[in-house]
Chains A and B, each alone.
Chain A
Amino acid sequence: AQSVTQPDIHITVSEGASLELRCNYSYGATPYLFWYVQSPGQGLQLLLKYFSGDTLVQGIKGFEAEFKRSQSSFNLRKPSVHWSDAAEYFCAVGGNTGKLIFGQGTTLQVKP
């Protein structure tokens, strides 16, 4: 079955601290992997994507993610979190049809 698991429903970090959001997936074919961010009352915005090639991908807003095929993971990282990073983060997996399977999301809270 195709699925995405984000084990952490809610994470709180202090501003300036590093961040890692976890994502594990199950997908029968070669996965396309994505991280999206949703600010309150807004739509989702693409942070970064992995299709193939270098397993460490860079995205917008200083985020990066690493694809680890052996662990079926695609964790999102940021070295220093800013208060404006507080939002909902969604990991997603898909193929070439445009149909994405989303995880349940991780709510990031940033303490001053």
Chain B
Amino acid sequence: DTAVSQTPKYLVTQMGNDKSIKCEQNLGHDTMYWYKQDSKKFLKIMFSYNNKELIINETVPNRFSPKSPDKAHLNLHINSLELGDSAVYFCASSQADRTGELFFGEGSRLTVL
């Protein structure tokens, strides 16, 4: 069983479309994250949820909206996609008392044409 799973793994879409990426973890962790890795490999945190509550919200455009229906799931919805949104999006999770010890999914590569 994959500990942190993301779907889809690849996503190719046109500018202006709306898309979602789903993430699920079966580790029993309380905290989940979204990180963005750009074409230069820079990884930057976007959001963090602890027990369905938003605790980290970096400077991310309002077009990005995370949703956590329960502590095992954290989805990312992106409206009005732009070329600059092309990146690899990683979901991760951690236990609340082991912050920084992140378990990452395999990533979702988003390409906006």
Stretch at the interface among B14-22, B68-76, B97-105: B97-105
Which of A45, A88, A95, A100 is in CB contact (< 8 Å) with B45?
A100
A97-B55 contact given A49-B100, A90-B43, CB 8 Å threshold: yes
Query: Does B110 make an interface contact (CB < 8 A)?
Result: no
User: What is the distance, in angstroms, from A109's C-beta to the closest C-beta of chain B?
Assistant: 15
Decide if B31 touches A98 in the complex (CB within 8 Å).
yes
Determine whether B106 belongs to the interface, using a CB cutoff of 8 Å to chain A. yes
* A42, A95, A102 interface centre (most CB from chain B within 10 Å): A102
Q: Determine which of A32, A43, A88, A97 lies in contact with B104 in the assembled complex, contact meaning CB atoms within 8 Å.
A: A43
Q: How large is the interface on A (under 10, 10 to 19, 20 to 34, 35 or more residues)?
A: 20 to 34
Q: Which of B25-63 contact A (CB under 8 A)?
A: 31, 33, 40-45, 48, 55-56
- Are B44 and A104 in contact (CB-based, < 8 A)? no
Decide: B43 and A102 in contact? CB cutoff 8 A. Answer: yes
A46 to B55 alpha-carbon distance, docked (Å): 23
Whole-angstrom distance from the CB of B93 to the nearest CB of chain A?
10
Chain B residues lying within 8 Å of A92, measured Cβ to Cβ, are 100
Give the shortest distance, in Å, between B92 (CB) and chain A (any CB): 8
Q: Which B residues contact A (CB, under 8 angstroms)? A: 4, 31, 33, 40-45, 48, 55-56, 90, 92, 94, 99-107
Chain A interfacial positions (CB closer than 8 Å to B): 32, 34, 36, 41-46, 49, 88, 90, 92, 94-100, 102, 104-105
Having A97-B55, A99-B48, one finds 10 other A-B pairs with CB under 8 Å, namely A42-B106, A43-B104, A44-B43, A44-B104, A46-B102, A94-B100, A98-B100, A100-B45, A100-B100, A102-B43
